[in-house]
Amino acid sequence: MTHYVMLLDSPVPRGGLGVFDFKSGQSREVRPPQGNLYEALAHCADRNMDWESYLKDLPSTPYPLTPAAVKYRPPLKPDNNLLVQISEITLCTAKTEQAWYYKGNGRLLKTDGDPLQVPYHSQSISSEPCIVCLYWVDPFGALRFIGFTLGNDIHDHVLHSRDAISSTHAHLRTCAIAPALIVGELQADLAINVQIERDGQPLTASHHRMSLHRWQSLRRYSEEFLEKHEQFLEPGLVHYVFHSLSHRTANVPLQHGDWLSIDCPELELAMSNQIVEEELVSLVPLPARRAADRDGIDRPLPVPKKF
């Protein structure tokens, strides 16, 4: 199997990092004195230390990496939301179709199980499965690629298709990433499954693939773009860059209560989020998802439909 390392960032008061090595099949818990991954990176940079070696040398204990055991935070997220920049970069064949969209700061970033709240002024709700790349700007202003994970992004497709100005507004919506960070570069093509569920029943299912060639193009373009602009290189900033896996050919309108699930069997990553419309929260309360359903993201998804 390709060698990947997975990190999970658990919150205060527990603190610490869950680490899983795909090559050895071993999981362990590391508790850096700094508490979380962001603070550990800053600590290592201040002392000119390699952060991966630093974490590897810390005392560790065997630890079952089960999301049910603890509520994880979005990996690498600092406590200060203003140190987070969330954006989306699309890369199409034609150079003129490359686009960058600002999504917001850390306040909009959620993780597995968190609701994705949609503002009352939204005209429509659509979702996009994403690969999310995580970058950290070190104390010297250098952009450092840390790793990647899965993401659920929502946008307003009616606004997006209206005009250029409206398109930028369409992306100012909440989003979520999986609680596990895959350290380093993608090493092989990935298969990603996506499912939308409504009223306890599958609504749509689709299958996506991230090729190494596309990954390399996205990474190269994203880094070149971020490094061109000084405001993106403020020391301490964390960039979450969403890269859509879809081609926007089949926007499925979503509604209050729908569940979005995404999983990648090769990386043993999975996450699920529920759509919550702001004006319907008090009018149409949503029941808690049954335990059997909540675990459904660990089961094989239905055969994808051809759109």
pLDDT in tens, 213-249: 999 989 999 999 999 999 999 999 999 999 988 765 5
CA distances from 152 to 10, 31, 142, 181, 200 (A): 20, 29, 28, 15, 19
pLDDT in tens, the chain (307 residues): 357 888 888 775 567 888 888 888 888 888 888 888 999 999 999 999 999 889 888 888 876 655 455 678 899 999 999 999 999 988 666 554 568 889 999 999 999 999 999 887 776 788 889 999 999 999 999 999 999 999 999 877 666 656 666 667 777 789 999 999 999 999 999 999 999 999 889 999 999 999 999 999 899 999 999 999 999 999 999 999 999 887 655 577 888 999 999 999 989 899 999 999 887 777 777 776 654 444 433 333 333 333 2
The DSSP-derived string for 69-132 is: GS-PBPTT--S-GGGEEEEEEE--SSGGG-EEEEEE-GGGEEETT--EEE-TT-S--EEEEEEE
Cα separation, 50 vs 11, in Å, equals 23
Cα separation, 211 vs 187, in Å, equals 10
User: Which CATH code, of 3.40.225.10, 3.90.850.10, 3.40.50.10860, 3.90.1640.10, is assigned to 74-298?
Assistant: 3.90.850.10
Residue 297: both structure tokens together: 């993201």
Q: What is the arrangement of strands in the sheet containing 190-198, beginning at the earlier edge strand?
A: 116-118, 269-277, 259-264, 190-198, 201-210
> pLDDT tens, 87-114?
998 866 655 456 888 999 999 999 999 9
| DSSP designation for 157 | H
**Domain limits of the chain?**
1-73, 74-298
- Spatial neighbors of 205 by CB under 8 A, at least 6 apart, are 193, 194, 195, 196, 301, 302, 303, 304, 305
